[in-house]
Structure 1
């Protein structure tokens, strides 16, 4: 389920290659006095009955990579990468991506500062 600022993903059926999970991804833009607009994301949920919470920030020009970071964090907590929580509902992911671009004022072809890639751990 997607609504601006929030993506919820869950499955209730365990299989041989996928545990039960329930994950919420919340996001907002925050203004950093030095770095400018930053996409702040917070993941809260459970994978295979184990609760977790993670937060991360991405620069405006690297925010388009949020799915990679979220997938890596979900994997860290036990969700196999072959069952990405983002790609399961690609239509909702597209809405989320467009909303993030909108709130950041980002456009296709905007330059990327390669130092931001390193700072954001990408």
Structure 2
């Protein structure tokens, strides 16, 4: 129930809700958040994302589990970032959807204090 910097160093709260671009400020650290505020924002985001999935995946019926996965993915990737995954789901190729989603997963290695580590050095070829 507090503000923190996400992996892109943007001020975020709750379950990944963007407060603003850029680092959290000292004022943001002191501004309280209630569970009700966090849950209300999350519920609104989920409802909007469910509409996005329904609008984009019309040609193939999704099971509840697949619909939930599409909503979770689209909530993190946005409508534009989910377009290829929606198209794959729309085509009925359920086996390719997870591998398509995994293309959008980026790992940001961090040290014990949460600071981003530089990318690993590539060995000379």
- On whether the aligned pair clears a TM of 0.5, the verdict is no
Higher normalized contact order (CA 8 Å, seq sep 6+, divided by chain length): 1
Between structures 1 and 2, the one with greater strand share: 1
Q: Please give the TM-score of this superposition, normalised by the length of structure 1.
A: 0.26
Between structures 1 and 2, the one with greater helix share: 2
Q: Please give the TM-score of this superposition, normalised by the length of structure 2.
A: 0.26
Structure index of larger Rg = 2
